[in-house]
Structures are given as C-alpha cells and as structure tokens.
Structure 1
Amino acid sequence: MEVKKIMQDLEQKHPGEAEYLQAVKEVLISIKDVYNQHPEFEKAKIIERIVEPERILTFRVPWVDDKGEVHVNIGYRVQFNSAIGPYKGGLRFHPSVNLSILKFLGFEQTFKNSLTTLPMGGGKGGSDFSIRGKSDNEVMRFCQAFMTELFKVIGPETDIPAGDIGVGAREIGYLFGMYKKLTHQWNGVITGKGLEWGGSRIRPEATGFGALYFVNQMLQTHNIDIKGKTIAVSGFGNVAWGAVTKATQLGAKVITISGPDGYIYDPDGICGEKIDYMLELRATGNDVCAPYAEMFSGAKFIPNKRPWEVKCDIALPCATQNELNGNDADILLANHPICVAEVSNMGCTAEAVEKFVKAKQLFAPGKAVNAGGVATSGLEMTQNAIRLSWSSDEVDEKLHQIMHSIHEQCVKYGKLNDGYIDYVKGANIAGFMKVANAMMAQGIV
C-alpha cells in the first residue's frame, strides 16, 4: 500500500473535504505495515473500498417557523460500512455540518464500533440546521420534516441513528415519534431514547464515563493512580459533564471547562453543585461558560482562549473536532502532562497527534477513548431487542468491561519494542483488522 498515492487519488475525487481526508490519512499511516503483510487485502482492494462510504443520502428539509416563514436546510445520512453490523452513528444538527465532516465521522465510527466488540457498522448523519434560538415547536417541525426523508433508509436491522451535537433527548423524541407515525412500528430504530420509552440508563453520561474508564486503565498500566490528579477539560455539554462527574468519583480534580467564549479555571475543582450548574446552563441553550465565574467565587474566566495553557496532569478535549492544535500540543508538552486523551471525535489536529507520538507522550485517540457512548447505544439496542431494561449498575458494569476490552486491543496492536504504547496505531489496527476480515469473508460487495 502506498499511502501517498491513495491520498492523492482521494484528494482528486473529494477536493476540499479536509476533515475526511485527515481521518483517512491517519488510519492509513497506522495500518500500512500490517496491511502490507496481507496480500489478500491488496488483491481484494480492501483499502479502496473501506475509505469510501457504501451509500450517501442527501435531501432537502423544508420547515416552517413560528412566523409562518419557510426555511430549507440540507439533510444527510452517510452509511459508511456495514461489514460487521447495521450502520450505527449519531445525527448532528449544527451550522458547521457538511459532507466532509459527516464522512470523517462515519469513517471514524466504523472503526470505533469495531473496537466495542459489538456487532455495529459505521454511519453518521445530520443537517446544517441550528437549534439555537428555535422554539420547541420549530425544533419539532424541523425534526418531523427531517425524519420524513430519513425513515426511508433506516431501521433496527439496517441503520440505527443516535444523538450527537444539537440532537439531545428532545430531538430524539420528536424524531422517533415521526418515525413511528410514518412506519406504524415501535422498534429500536433510534438510540438515546427516554427511559420511559426504551432508553438505556446512563446513556447521556456514557461517553464521559467510558473515557475516564479508558484513561484510568492507561494510568494503571503505567502504575499511576488517578486519585489526586488534576484534569483540564474542554467543553461543558453532556460529554464533558460525564467526564467531569466520573473523574471526580475516581478521586481526580477537574480544574477547567470551556465554551466558544473562552474557558473557566477553577483551582478548587469542579464538582457537586458546580457540575449541576454547568449542565443547567447548557440546558438553557446557552453554550458560553463566562457565567460560571460569576456564580462561584475562586473561579476565573479567561476569554477567547483554550484551557491547554493550564498546567495539569491529564488533558481531555471534550468539545469538537480539531480543537487542540500543534501550538496547544507544544504548550501541553512543555508542562509535562501524564496523559492526553481525545474524548471528542478527532479532537486533536494531525500536527498535534504527530507531536504527542513523537515525544512519546501517553496519548489516546477518540475512536478508542470515546467509544463508551456508542457502546451504550449498542446496549440500548440489545435491551430493545429483548424487551428488557437493565439497571444503571448493570449498564455501567457492561460499559466498564467494553472499555477494558478496547484498551486491551490497543495495547495488543500498539505496544512498541521500546515499551511505549502507541494507542493511535493500536486502535486503528485493531478496528481495521476486524472490519477488513469481515469484508474479505463477504466477497466483493
């Protein structure tokens, strides 16, 4: 496999799709040596097939606001790979949504789902619709219009969407209600549902919980105790909330959260009522974090900056893709953190990842670290299929086991001769091999 040649071909086919091309290049570099040990993969053109989505649906979404004005947004569903199970991946409603971002997310989701050990393929979808400033009725009408097209290509044995940025419990409810009306069926076609109608316990916090289980496993592998360690977190949505909550339970101290306006530094630690306030603030639709500093004495708001300049033991990007760049990596490395782990999807730029790996920094990629969210969605699918509901402790135990298994796979494929564990390489190879072998077994389809 020649990575340069493959990337040149992809760039010609998909010009300008920076996020997607970045995600593909990272995986190809990691798996190159293993791939070249399998000539049968080359003969079957596994790489050429695995980097292209199996199917992409694009559609218009017309909806009417409360003033009677008509708006038109674009809807997408990228069904990336179904070799090991039905397509599985979230829906994102945000103005930044475009095909490049959804292809990158669907590509990453394919390997992330593979790592969970659950039978799920990879997919992603969404729209450039923004929920900010919209009334409940406007969001409902948009979700109903969106599902009017989406329902044609999803199903519990075909494609099971979930929530993502801009798609929470309210949106999932509206989407599911419209699917049920259109199909006359009640089934587990969407995950992230309410507990009263098929949802799984601890789903909202599962991504953050799973991330801390993985990070704790990383530290234990190196004989390091997480208790007493300081943690810098970005973001303050559900993912950050879960991470902050579990970190606190494990005895660590979270000292930062962030929003688009800047970040909060709280040397006393973000816990208890502070975590509750963080979530309440986000629930109002307000994604700025400055009010936190006005609410709690001792906390400081630093405008228009990222939290990576704060000295910490552990850094956890929890907001969005490419939020930690090469300059941020230099600042972090100068402060000698113990560990950096992507909780957001591709939270670090390629330059940042390269610097961490080159410096032999303990670092783990999002497809491994944040797999707890989709893993719990997979557990919700199982509960729906057998018409049972597990307790929080049962779901949490299964989540813990899955994250432990993911960590073992990363170590198996990522441990180098000098003892350093390249978690990026390990996660990519482990996820790829399972999907590639399934594709080989199913022929040229």
Structure 2
Amino acid sequence: MAIKNAYLNNVYQDLAGRYADQKEFLQAVQEVLTSLEPVFERRPELEEMGIIERLVEPERSLLFRVSWVDDRGKIQVNRGYRVQFSTSIGPSKGGLRFHPSVNLSVIKFLGFEQIFKNSLTGLPMGGGKGGSDFDPKGKSNNEIMRFCQSFMIELQRHIGPDTDVPAGDMGVGSREIGYMFGQYKRIRNEFSGVLTGKDPSSGGSLARPEATGFGLCYFTQEMLQERNTSFQGKRVVISGSGNVATYANQKATQLGAKVVAMSDSNGYIVDENGIDYRTIQLIKEVKRERIKTYVDYVPTAKYVEDPRGIWTVPCDIALPCATQNELPIEGARALKENGCIAVAEGANMPTTLEATKYLQDNGILFGPAKAANAGGVAVSGLEMSQNSMRMPWSFEEVDEHLKKIMVNIYHNIDKAAKDYGAPGNLVMGANIAGFEKVCQAMIWQGVSF
C-alpha cells in the first residue's frame, strides 16, 4: 500500500528509517497515512504545522525492568512498557497487555491506533498503551499478584486519573487489574479512577467485560443496514475465545444470528447447531481450559487443530477477535468464496493490509478495529465519568450509552468517507474522522516544546 502524497510519504520513510525493526508500528502508521492523503490534499496548511511529524512520535515512551519472585523463590525479570502517545483531547487512555509477544513495536502500534479510536468515541480521552512480555498462563495467582505489584511500583510514577488511565487488554483481566489497583492505592494512599476495568465493588463499571463484544455487534448491526439486512438468521464466525469473542457471541446470538465457529491459539471448534457462549465462558473464565474441551461438553461440535483454518468455515459475517494480523489474504479469499458479506474487527488490526484491500475491493462490508472495537474503551471512558461523579450507573444505562456511541461512530465515519469521495470506505472514514478531532485540538493548543 504505497503512500502517494509526497509529504506524507516523506514522513513515513523517515519514520521507517528510524524504526526499521518496528514492523507492527510501521504497518499501523502506513495504513493511517494512506487514508489521510485526501485530507492533506484539501488542507495543505497542515504540512506547515507539522501535525503528522508530531502525531507519529509518542509524547512519552517508557521502558522499565520488572523484577519479581516466583513460587520457587527464584527471581524473574520481565520488561514493562507504557507509551503515552497523545494527550491532545484528554488524558492518555489505553490497555495493558501481558503476553510474550509484547515489545515496543507492538505497544507503539496499539498506542497509535488508540489515538484515533478514542477520538471516535466522542469522549475526552487521548491515546496510550502499555504492558509487559510477562505471560500469565501457567502462573499461580500468587505469582501473578507479585508480578502485578512489582509492575505497578514503577508504573504508578507515570499515571493518574487526569494524566494516564490504563485498562486491561490481552492477558490482563479483572484479577490483574485488581492486583495493580490495590498496589497503586497502597503506594499513593489514594482511591481514584486511575485504572478502568475495575471490579464494581471498587468503582468499576457494569457492562465493562461485555463492552467490546457488545459494541462490536452494535457497530456491525448498523453497518449491515447498508445492505438492508441484519444479524437475524446469519451464520457468524468469531475468532478467539476471550472476553471480546465470548460477548460478541452472546450479543450476535441475541440479535438472531448463529455463531458456528470460535477459536483459541491452538485450534478452532465448529458446531452447525451454534456455539453456546455460556459453555465458552465456563471453559475459559472458570476452568481456564483450552477451547478443544468444548467437544467434551457439546458432542455435536468438532475441533480442528490450527486456528488459521477458521476462515474456511462458511459464514455470512466474520468477526476476527483474537490478535493482530490473524486474517491474511488467504483467509480473506476463503471468506469471499464462501459467501461472506461483512467483516468487522473485534481485535486490534487483525486483518493484514493486503487482506483489508481485498475485502474492500470485492464489495465486502469492512468495519476497521479502531471503530468497530471501540466499545471497550468507550465504557472505560464511562467508568471514568462514574468515578469522577462517585455515582455508579446500572447495566442498562451503560449499555444504552454504549449502543448510542457505537451507532454514532458508524455514522460519523460513514459521513467522513463520503465527504472525502470514498463512500463505503470505512477504513478511510475512521482514520479521517478520528484524525480531524485530534488535529483541531493540536492546532488550538499550539506547539508544546
């Protein structure tokens, strides 16, 4: 995907020269800059203001050591990261990811995407991301607690309810957030909304676990209106089996669809009768087992090794909800051949650039991650509001706010795409709509030296 605008291409090439080893970050920047070309053709004065040069460099990048003691008494060392990318429209906001694949490139890619995603929600949140190469899998609760406490000893210096508000992401659920929140409270001697995704007993918002999956389906339902259709009676394939995938299954089922396939990092399950999200919850959230055990509970299901094959399962709607670059060009071709009409991203950048272009070129509705999966950070923003007011909302109130936000996101990005001569191109629309708000704030605030 070549960047044709000379100015934007020069910025990208300079960035690629400095960060040649950060392929995930460069992929995210390339996708955004390509989408922004019509904005800079229409508004050449933005080049003189150095908006893009400033936007592609984080305001602050933190790398720190995390030392902790395992159950055998052995000292372990991991790397911790926090990138505060932009605070133009509000405090940095973005999750913490604990996974062996975490490195600076991955965190920068996620943080850069978060700028635009947060902007699209309409809430006052900047972009940030963080995490560690620590792997919670196979660790005891005490080991996870000791790691989280050690991680927070350093992180607490750089965050706050009006500075940077982390949340959970891959490998960081309610348990991990709880351990980190407790440590922050102990060190800082304050009870504040410094983290979101908290337990409701400690100021967390109801509907937060469901938010990304529910929001994904609210967005997709609105997108399907373009084809005068809905989830009703549709076959759905959902990759992943974590929070996003599980609650996407629940909402899609409630909207009348049948989820026929789900996966984890080892393989995928298929059941033509529909996959029961409650059984997935039992397996993943209670027993913490691999998805292959689903066939022990539901004999009509089949398990297949290698999760990449999930895109060969015939479906009307595909919701990639696992990890970045999980849907390659081969998967996109298989989806088209099997009659898929819509793809919406529940994970962060799960579709490769080549696959994204293929889907768009072949008339398949495509909802990009920064819009389609913004439900999680939207409810995190609503949690911040509840913390500030010291007043919790009911599940129904939060869910209603979430639905309105996701419907508005769809219509705003659809309008932006049409305004810039690319009707139906929601990737371009999302990047432009998210950028314009951040751009206006940067211009208004001047250059910060």
In structure 2, what is the Cα distance between the partners aligned to 1:90 and 1:419? 32
Within a 5 Å distance, the mapping from 1:325-340 to structure 2 comes to: 325-340=328-343
> C-alpha distance in 1, partners of 2:289/2:398?
29
Q: CA deviation at 1:288?
A: 2.6
Offset of residue 413 of structure 1? 1.1
CA deviations over 1:220-261 (Å, ceiling 9, x no partner): 233113211110000001000110000011111111100111
* Contact persistence 1:259–1:287 (CA under 8 A): no
Match of 2:74 in 1: 69
Contact 2:66 2:80 survives alignment (8 Å):
yes
Verify: 1:255 aligned to 2:260, yes or no.
yes
Select which of 345, 348, 354 maps to 1:351.
Answer: 354
The answer as to 2:190 corresponding to 1:185 is yes
Within a 5 Å distance, the mapping from 1:407-426 to structure 2 comes to 407-415=410-418, 420-426=423-429
Matched, 1:216 2:221: yes
Kindly provide the amino acid, as one letter, of the partner of residue 99 in structure 1: L
Cα 1:167–1:417, aligned 2, differ >3 Å: closer, same or farther? closer
Describe the superposition over 1:32-52 as per-residue Cα deviations: whole angstroms up to 9, x where unpaired.
Answer: 111222122111110111111
| Count of aligned pairs | 442
1:114-153 alignment runs, 5 A limit: 114-153=119-158
Asked if the contact 1:260/1:287 (under 8 Å) is kept, the reply is no
1:12 aligned onto 2:14: no
Separation in structure 1 between the aligned mates of residue 249 and residue 115 of structure 2, nearest angstrom = 27
**Separation in structure 2 between the aligned mates of residue 288 and residue 102 of structure 1, nearest angstrom:** 26
State the Cα deviation string for residues 359-385 of structure 1 (Å, max 9, x = none): 232111000000000000000000000
Relative to structure 1, the CA distance from residue 40 to residue 108 in structure 2 (aligned partners, 3 Å threshold; closer, same or farther) is: same
- Contact (CA 8 Å) 2:118, 2:378: kept in 1 or not? yes
State how far apart, in whole Å, the 1-side matches of 2:161 and 2:401 are.
21
TM-score normalised by length of structure 1: 0.97
Match of 1:383 in 2: 386
CA distance 1:415–1:293, shift in 2 (3 Å): farther
Q: Partners in 1 of 2:17 and 2:145 — Cα distance? A: 39
Note if contact 2:239-2:263 (Cα within 8 Å) is conserved in structure 1.
Answer: yes
Name the structure 2 match of 1:311.
314
Question: Root-mean-square deviation (CA), in Å?
Answer: 1.4
Does the 8 Å CA contact 2:345/2:369 hold for their aligned counterparts? yes
Counterpart of 2:433 (choices 422, 430, 435) is 430
Write the letter of the residue equivalent to 1:311: P
Q: Distance in 2 between matches of 1:62 and 1:358?
A: 49
Conservation of the 8 A alpha-carbon contact between 1:132 and 1:285: no
Q: Which residue, out of 218, 223, 230, partners 1:225?
A: 230
Correspondence for 1:109 = 114
Look up the match of 1:281. Answer: 283
Q: Does structure 2 retain, via aligned residues, the 8 Å contact 1:46–1:439? A: yes
Paired AA for residue 107 in structure 1: F
SS of alignment partner, residue 64 of structure 2: strand
- Does residue 396 (structure 1) correspond to residue 399 (structure 2)? The answer is yes
1:286 shift after superposition: 4.0
Post-superposition shift, 1:335? 1.7
Judging changes above 3 Å, is the alpha-carbon distance between structure 1 residues 32 and 287 closer, same or farther for their aligned structure 2 residues?
farther
Contact 1:230 / 1:253 at 8 angstroms: preserved in 2?
Answer: yes
Amino acid at match of 1:264: I
Give CA deviations for 1:299-352 in whole Å, capped at 9, x if unaligned: 111111431101100000000111100111111111221101111000101111
Deviation larger for 368-377 or 300-309: 300-309
Is 1:369 matched with 2:372?
yes
AA partner of residue 342 (structure 1): E
Which letter does structure 1 place at the counterpart of 2:189?
A: H
Equivalent pair of 2:414/2:423 in contact (CA under 8 Å): no
Does residue 201 (structure 1) correspond to residue 203 (structure 2)? The answer is no
Distance 1:193 1:87 in 2: 17
| CA distance 1:98–1:419, shift in 2 (3 Å) | closer
Q: 1:159 aligns with which of 139, 156, 164?
A: 164
Residues of 1 paired with 2:441 and 2:422: CA distance? 31
8 Å Cα contact 2:101/2:133 also seen in 1: yes
Alignment-mate amino acid for residue 151 of structure 1: Q
Match of 1:296 among 273, 295, 298: 298
**Within 2, Cα distance between the matches of 1:418 and 1:222?**
20
Cα distance, 1:289 vs structure 2: 1.4
Deviation at 1:4, TM superposition (A): 3.1
Distance 1:359 1:53 in 2: 36
Q: Which moved more, 1:121-130 or 1:37-46?
A: 37-46
2:149 partner amino acid: Q
CA-CA distance at 1:5 after TM superposition: 2.3
Structure 2 unaligned runs (5+)? none
Q: Distance in 2 between matches of 1:89 and 1:285?
A: 28
Q: 2:400 is matched by which residue type in structure 1? A: E
Task: Check the 8 A contact 1:85/1:120 in 2, yes or no.
Answer: yes
Q: How far does residue 287 in structure 1 lie from its aligned partner after superposition?
A: 5.8
- Compared CA separation, residues 337 and 417, structure 1 to 2 (3 A): farther
SS at match of 1:345: coil
Q: State how far apart, in whole Å, the 2-side matches of 1:428 and 1:292 are.
A: 38
Deviations 1:78-127 (A, max 9, x none): 00000000000000011100000000000000000000000000000000
Residue type at the aligned position of 1:433:
E
**Structure 1 regions of 5+ residues with no counterpart?**
none
- For residues 119 and 216 of structure 2, what CA distance do their matches in structure 1 show? 17
Task: Decide whether the 8 Å contact of 1:360 with 1:420 is kept in 2.
Answer: no
Distance 1:402 1:305 in 2: 32
Q: TM-score, normalised by structure 2?
A: 0.96
